[in-house]
Structure 1
């Protein structure tokens, strides 16, 4: 249900971007926090670039902290991605992780295949960017966490249902608004063409004598 809601949200963002082309393409969307046993789970991590004209190198690390057991709280490096290479270290997720990020590395998401109950825990997405300027190279770092819960089946979320309904309403409204705008523009253009055609027709209907000898002004 939450995944469908995010899909509708992305569709809404696409429609808005088509109407307002000046708006940024990158949109920061929060990750789902509920996974289903045996299914694939995408851990979404997005950090939009604010200086696209500057050369930047991006380094990404994903850390996993299992649910606390016997007072222990240990984090594991489960995935690392940089501009030169990608690698998956030896960890509980070996052969079950896929890179799901974008080419420009604004989205640095990963996907877990065949989720198990042991995958519950805290996931941390660490992003480190080094910007290239002529005189100095500033570094930008951001960390995002996802507290993942694994369940046997998806739970019915009333809030998500209402949000999905509202999303459908907004999509219908935007589609109708775009249609009205298109009809209005078409009618406006057609009316301008008709007025230009009427003016040309009226001009052609005037006798040539009147065109050559316009009426003299009336004097008292």
Structure 2
């Protein structure tokens, strides 16, 4: 993040269940509002990333009431736009997170940072 260049970012999360070929768009956030797109995640996703800024740096989300059906690949995509005086520059970066839900925890919590 560079304070001398105005920037905005949006974040999109996609999900691909085990055995599926394609990702499905499940969630988006633009610095002001979040939108849970896939009904399977309705009332179960919470934004815990950057707050009170449109230049998002952290895209952390929580999934509540996790089930075995939540196992799969999650793809987080940042679309960041730098605004200069005479033009805008867009950068898109994606990160992949693999989640396997197990029947019983091992007594510790692991946090995956993007």
Q: TM-score range by the shorter chain?
A: 0.7 to 0.9
Task: Decide which structure has greater helix share.
Answer: 1
The residue that corresponds to 2:27 in the other structure is: 79
* Equivalent-residue separation in structure 1 for 2:106 and 2:32 (angstroms): 41
**Residues 1:102 and 2:53 aligned together:** no
* Equivalent-residue separation in structure 2 for 1:141 and 1:90 (angstroms): 22
* Equivalent-residue separation in structure 2 for 1:156 and 1:112 (angstroms): 19
* Equivalent-residue separation in structure 1 for 2:63 and 2:30 (angstroms): 19
**Residues 1:111 and 2:67 aligned together:** no
What is the aligned residue count?
106
The residue that corresponds to 2:15 in the other structure is: 64
Partners of 2:27 and 2:38 within 8 A in 1:
no
| TM-score when normalising by structure 2 | 0.83
Partners of 2:13 and 2:25 within 8 A in 1:
yes
* Equivalent-residue separation in structure 1 for 2:49 and 2:22 (angstroms): 26
Structure 1, unmatched stretches of 5+, are 1-48, 161-220
* Equivalent-residue separation in structure 2 for 1:86 and 1:156 (angstroms): 32
* Equivalent-residue separation in structure 2 for 1:94 and 1:73 (angstroms): 23
Question: Deviation at 1:140?
Answer: 1.3
Q: Give 3-state SS (helix, strand or coil) of 2:100's partner.
A: strand
Between Structure 1 and Structure 2, whose CA radius of gyration is higher? Answer: 1
Partners of 2:14 and 2:24 within 8 A in 1:
yes
* Equivalent-residue separation in structure 1 for 2:24 and 2:68 (angstroms): 17
* Equivalent-residue separation in structure 2 for 1:84 and 1:113 (angstroms): 21
1:141 equivalent among 76, 92, 96: 92
**Residues 1:132 and 2:83 aligned together:** yes
The 3 A distance-change label for structure 1 pair 149 and 81 is: same
Partners of 1:121 and 1:147 within 8 A in 2:
yes
**Residues 1:120 and 2:71 aligned together:** yes
Structure 2, unmatched stretches of 5+, are none
Question: Deviation at 1:102?
Answer: 1.6
The residue that corresponds to 1:154 in the other structure is: 105
The residue that corresponds to 2:5 in the other structure is: 54
Specify which structure has the bigger relative contact order, considering alpha-carbon pairs within 8 angstroms and separated by 6 or more residues. Answer: 2
